[in-house]
Amino acid sequence: MPQTSKRVTPNSLRTMKKSGSKIVMMTAYDFPSAELIDAAGVDVILIGDSLGTVIQGKKTTLSVTLDEMIYHTRLVARAARRALVVADLPFPYAQLGPADAVRACAEILKESGAGAVKIEGGEKRADVVRAVTDAGIPVMGHCGLMPQEIRKLGGYKVQRDEAALERDLAAVQENGAFSVVLECVPHEIAARQTARLGIPTIGIGAGKGCDGQVLVFHDLLGYHLPENAAPKHARTYIDLGSIITGAVQSFAQDVRNGNFPTDAESF
């Protein structure tokens, strides 16, 4: 549970890095999930464009629209009382350049109630990060594996080029990001880069040397069919998929056998 009820801000995360306190981040895409996550004391709730794969059942995040991001972020922001709410900037606004990115990020904050945006890309998106932060919008960076470049990468692959990662992280930090997600980076590299940076790193498949960790809500809960197993870097804390399936099967059996509803459950 949280040690304080104070609202988490970008400055809070910097303070946590300095004090050595680990940052806890989780995804959420709707009001009830966000309400439960916030009550449990997480520091950051991320509305990822991963909603394309997790919620919409698509193969990639690329088709998620700005309107969809705003809609889901609005639901989450309405529930969050303590956590910092961060929304992904969906493809292709960062790729289109600073002007389009600023307009899209401003719309997200204005229409959804988010506290910050997350922008994928390092050195080659430095001008975008700078323009958005100059517009007064807090930016969380995202380096390492970048799902919005999945077509170029040819798949979800571990990113092992430390020199390139170091340049990306430096560019993100120097252009005003308050933190950065490190995705699918070898743990030794992530730990070294985390120690060099002045802003906090939040890992996903990047080892425990990061300043914090993020996990997808549905992976943590096992909220899927058994054949749709969570990735290697995601720990499942409960098999909610089997629990839900079992509960629905019990309900269906009771309906078919005439055991639902009972007289006590009827008007």
| 107 in catalytic set | no
Residue with tokens 């960790």: 213
Token pair of 5, please? Answer: 């009820």
How far apart are the C-alpha atoms of 17 and 194, rounded to whole Å? 10
Amino acid identity, position 248: V
How far apart are the C-alpha atoms of 99 and 156, rounded to whole Å? 29
Token pair of 219, please? Answer: 């992976």
The catalytically annotated residue of 107, 162, 183, 265 is: 183
Q: How far is residue 183 from each of residues 156, 215, 250, measured CA to CA in Å?
A: 10, 11, 40
How far apart are the C-alpha atoms of 42 and 211, rounded to whole Å? 14
Is the Cβ–Cβ distance between 61 and 153 less than 8 Å? no
Q: How far is residue 190 from each of residues 18, 64, 164, 197, measured CA to CA in Å?
A: 17, 28, 13, 11
Nearest to 237 by CA among 224, 226, 221: 221
H or E element, residue 45: strand 44-47
Amino acid identity, position 70: I
Q: How many CA atoms lie within 13 A of 225 on its CB side?
A: 3
H or E element, residue 220: helix 217-221
* Residues classed as catalytic: 183
